[in-house]
């Protein structure tokens, strides 16, 4: 038997390691977190968000990419930086669709509450779902073990029992992430009727989706209606983490519903992570700003700061957790962003 033949054949099926753009993206989220964390608890959400946007934009424009913001801070006339459609990067690299939320949870940051994060997703150009006039979508997110048992149209008690079985738990062991909004009163009652436990959060449904797919988290599932742009961002992470998201547009006003229908978008269509972000070469990065059980916040000292981040690459399914120590004396010599 010619063993060398088989070795060569096997090697021909393998790919050489490629550049992981998530390592570049985490520099962007770190910059946003460092800049915005100075505004923790100071009651000014616009100042905190503005600091993050400025830092994120400067960082993006140092990267060798040809990026286009698909999920940004709003339309051009409403957002001076990182607006939908803005071209970012040095222009001499891969063509990428970019999704950003410089501060997911601006109110969390302003009032010193946990789980404000800086978030970026990237995928090949033309692969991201454009939410158009849609602001809200219904979402159901679980980790890898329960990815094949969920049904967006099934009653809450059915989904929770199937999820619990897939996880090898009782339903009263489950923890469900829900946004604490008036629209979720009925959902909360149904979850409690099954006996599952609930984490109520005022903001942050990207963080909620991340918690649902992160094995380190106590959250087992995220349910309820949140932002459509945030759904696209979360899908970038879910694809790499191996979890599942089912979603459907859920307009919260007649004006939003009419705009979606006028745009020719099917309100009945069930979307998943592969619909929201097509392909399998997707990158994601998030850095904690205000801290919490999910990602620790920025810790300042007189000489620098420490940040905590996670990065995900869908092609390999690798999730990395990064603790970075930033030295002001050295960083300020080369950075155009003033962190100290």
- From the list 319, 318, 297, 300, the residue with the least C-alpha distance to 308 is 297
Instruction: Report whether 129 belongs to an annotated binding site.
Output: no
According to DSSP, residue 138 is labeled E
Instruction: Report whether 29 belongs to an annotated binding site.
Output: no
Task: Give the CA-trace dihedral at 55, 48, 29, 217, to 10 degrees.
Answer: 180
Instruction: Report whether 73 belongs to an annotated binding site.
Output: yes
Instruction: Report whether 227 belongs to an annotated binding site.
Output: yes
- Alpha helices per DSSP H over 178-298: 185-194, 205-213, 228-241, 254-262, 273-276
Instruction: Report whether 131 belongs to an annotated binding site.
Output: no
Instruction: Report whether 218 belongs to an annotated binding site.
Output: no
Instruction: Report whether 183 belongs to an annotated binding site.
Output: yes
User: What is the total residue count of the chain?
Assistant: 340
Instruction: Report whether 318 belongs to an annotated binding site.
Output: no
Instruction: Report whether 101 belongs to an annotated binding site.
Output: yes
Instruction: Report whether 181 belongs to an annotated binding site.
Output: yes
Contact in structure between 201 and 115 (CB atoms under 8 Å): yes
Over 294-331, what HEC string results? Answer: CCCCCEECCCEEEEEEEEEECCCCEEEEEEEEEEHHHH
Instruction: Report whether 136 belongs to an annotated binding site.
Output: yes
Instruction: Report whether 339 belongs to an annotated binding site.
Output: no
* Cα torsion 126, 132, 134, 136: sign: positive
Instruction: Report whether 105 belongs to an annotated binding site.
Output: yes
Per the annotation, binding residues for substrate are 104-106, 136, 181-183, 203-205, 227
Output the known binding site: 49, 73, 101, 104-106, 136, 181-183, 203-205, 227, 230
Binding residues for Mn(2+): 49, 73, 101, 104, 230
């Amino acid at each position: 038997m010619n063993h060398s033949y088989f070795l060569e054949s096997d090697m021909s099926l393998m790919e050489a390691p490629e550049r992981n753009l998530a390592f570049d993206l985490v520099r962007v989220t770190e910059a946003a977190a460092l800049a915005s964390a100075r505004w923790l608890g100071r009651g000014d959400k616009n100042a905190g968000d503005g600091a993050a946007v400025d830092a994120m934009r400067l960082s993006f424009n140092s990267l060798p990419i040809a990026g286009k913001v698909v999920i940004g801070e709003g339309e051009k006339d409403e957002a001076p930086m990182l607006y939908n459609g803005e071209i970012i990067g040095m222009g001499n690299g891969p063509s990428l669709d970019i999704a950003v939320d410089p501060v997911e949870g601006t109110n969390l940051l302003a009032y010193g509450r946990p789980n404000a994060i800086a978030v970026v997703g990237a995928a090949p150009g033309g692969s991201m779902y454009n939410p158009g006039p849609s602001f809200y979508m219904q979402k159901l997110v679980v980790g890898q073990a329960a990815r094949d048992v969920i049904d967006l149209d099934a009653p809450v008690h059915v989904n929770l029992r199937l999820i619990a079985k897939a996880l090898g738990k009782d339903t009263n062991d489950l923890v469900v992430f829900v946004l604490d909004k008036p629209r979720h009163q009925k959902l909360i009652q149904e979850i409690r009727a099954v006996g599952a436990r609930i984490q109520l959060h005022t903001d942050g449904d990207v963080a909620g989706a991340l918690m649902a797919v992160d094995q380190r988290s106590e959250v087992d599932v995220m349910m309820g209606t949140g932002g459509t742009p945030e759904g696209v961002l979360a899908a970038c992470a879910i694809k790499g983490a191996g979890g599942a998201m089912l979603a459907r547009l859920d307009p919260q006003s007649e004006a939003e519903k009419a705009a979606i229908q006028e745009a020719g978008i099917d309100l009945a269509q069930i979307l998943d992570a592969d619909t929201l972000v097509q392909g399998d070469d997707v990158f994601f990065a998030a850095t904690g700003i205000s801290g919490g059980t999910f990602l620790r916040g920025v810790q300042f000292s007189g000489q620098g700061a420490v940040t905590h981040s996670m990065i995900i690459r869908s092609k390999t399914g690798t999730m990395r957790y990064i603790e970075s120590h930033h030295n002001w004396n050295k960083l300020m010599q080369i950075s155009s962003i003033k962190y100290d």
